[in-house]
Amino acid sequence: MSGGVPWITLPAGYLGSSLIGACLITCGFDTNASKVACLALGAFFLFTLWWARRNLLTWVLILGMSGLIVLFWLVADSVALRFFVLFIGVMSDLYVLWDVIGKSMIKSSMFHANGSSDDTIERKVNSSDASAFARICGCCPSRVWGVIWLIIAFMFFAAGVIVGIVAFKESTSEQESESAHFLPAPGSSGAVAYAPIPSVLAMIAAVLSWNLLSRI
């Protein structure tokens, strides 16, 4: 790795994923907040496509996610969107658990057989973020930093759930009523002013699909 501040960039993959996941989990407790979260995700999708515009897999994945967002936005006054945002948030947080513990349990035997080590708890790879961070810090081995990052990830997860419960206390019926007047899906009550929003998302997905097909 070159450039940037290593103290920030090295743990950014773990902690950044946990923080974003916690924010999405919080938004997943409210329909309107889920809509705002999906608009933010759409902006990140466009930036990702610009950054990895030559990667076919990235296009396929983002087109699939965009299609699901549009679909769930249109289902049951967008209430289904809550569960989709919750799913993305939980998976973003669980990625840290998988990367810190899961992969190590699966691959530890292979690394031990090769005489090498990997990052975090069960294993330790010299090129991993935890190993690089341990070399910079000099006070703790990579496994300790892996445990610390894992604990922080669980704290983010718990914070996302707690904030969501405290901040959004409306019932499902109340959220349906409010959702009908905030960026509503076409066909729902109050959809006249904001009907173009899901349509624009669908149009963006169609344009991205056309660009993808033209590259094949």
The C-alpha atoms of residue 31 and residue 36 are separated, in whole angstroms, by: 9
Residue 102's pLDDT is 55
Specify whether the CB–CB gap between 28 and 81 falls below 8 A: no
Q: What is the pLDDT of residues 105-124, one digit of tens each?
A: 444 444 444 544 444 555 44
Q: Is the pLDDT of residue 68 over 60?
A: yes
Q: CA 22 to CA 141: how far, in whole Å?
A: 27
Task: Please say if the pLDDT value at position 125 is more than 70.
Answer: no
Do 67 and 205 form a contact (C-beta atoms < 8 A)?
A: yes
pLDDT at 209: 55
Q: Write out pLDDT tens, residues 145-191.
A: 888 888 888 999 999 999 999 999 888 788 877 877 787 766 555 44
Instruction: Look at the alpha carbons of 96, 102, 106, 108 in this order and tell me if their dihedral is positive or negative.
Output: positive
Q: Is 189 exposed, middle or buried (0-12, 13-18, 19+ CB in 10 A)?
A: exposed
State what percent of residues in the chain have pLDDT above 70: 70
Q: What is the mean pLDDT of residues 82-104?
A: 80
pLDDT at 119: 47
- CA 207 – CA 148 distance, rounded (Å): 43
Sign for the CA dihedral angle at 79, 80, 83, 88 comes to negative
pLDDT, one tens digit per residue, over 35-49 is 999 999 988 888 888
- Return the pLDDT at 194: 44
Query: Is the distance from CB of 29 to CB of 107 less than 8 angstroms?
Result: no
- Position 193 pLDDT exceeds 50: no
Joined tokens for residue 47: 């930036």
Q: What is the mean pLDDT of the chain?
A: 75
